[in-house]
Amino acid sequence: MNKPRHPLDRAVRISRSPVRSSTLGPGYSVANSNTRILGPHAPHALGPVQPPAASANLGLNSDRLRTQMVRRLREQGITDDRVLAAMQTVARHDFVDQGLASRAYEDAALPIGYGQTISQPWVVAYMLAVMSEGRTPQRVLEIGAGCGYQAAVMAQFIPEVYAVERIRGLYDQARLNLSRGRSRGRVRLSFGDGMQGLEHRAPFDGIVVAAAGVKIPEVLLHQLAIGARLIAPEGAAHQRLILFERTGTASWHRVELEDVRFVPLRPGTQP
């Protein structure tokens, strides 16, 4: 695999306005969440994110809270209108435990069971915006579907979304979540080893990996169409988002992006 000396000329025109690190549910920290990590000396230009007030019936004000979330994302540098509109459409509180619904629109990763988390909204928006920048992807693969939220967001502006989940309980949860509302029938969900991708559905116009491996599996790079992009966290103790663009049958451009902390990418399946 060829790794060029220079990063992508057009990689990531999203502004780098610092964002507060997210808070999490009980027993969770940035050490086990899908979230952005800021250095200890990074200025918090936007100030602390104020969580929305808890509501006895979140459904009554979820539209307003989503609008606030999308406004915050735009202030944080996300400018892709397709991504922002999709995140405005998908009800994030439908993808978390009812007990955490009042926190669904914070800029926070939240636990979804099985030691996994739903990604911080900024992380979801950023990864999708980078993958889609300057492109109109038609077929995209997600590795690590979790509760199905990110796949549901993609399905609002991408015609064919494929998602793989390796944990049976989460697969069942995602299948239920994706069977209702505006996501119904828009995502092709599979239970299996995401590290192997979906060779029989390749090539893809984009691949999003929602778990961090020490190295990004090369098999996934070969499932990209030429000109397509893969974005994934990479690393162990220190993780960064990595963007690959396939430039030929045996060539890829690589660029390192933000510091993050994701749950680990694991092989095989978990019953």
pLDDT at 59: 53
pLDDT at position 61: 74
- Residues designated as active site: 119
In sequence order, what DSSP letters do the residues of 105-156 get, joined into one string? TSS--EEEETTEEEPPHHHHHHHHHHHHTT---SEEEEE--TTSHHHHHHTT
Residues 260 and 239: beta-carbon distance below 8 Å: yes
Model's pTM, two decimal places? Answer: 0.84
| Per-residue confidence in pLDDT tens, the chain, 271 aa | 444 443 344 444 433 333 333 344 444 444 446 888 875 433 332 333 344 444 445 554 789 999 999 999 999 999 999 999 999 999 999 999 999 999 999 999 999 999 999 999 999 999 999 999 999 999 999 999 999 999 999 999 999 999 999 999 999 999 999 998 777 788 999 999 999 999 999 999 999 999 999 999 999 999 999 999 999 999 998 999 999 999 999 999 999 999 999 999 999 999 9
Q: What is the pLDDT of residue 58?
A: 56
Compute the distance between CA of residue 79 and CA of residue 256 in angstroms, rounded to an integer.
20
pLDDT for res 180 = 85
CA distance 2 to 247: 10
Q: For residue 126, give the nearest of 9, 241, 254, 246 by alpha carbon.
A: 241
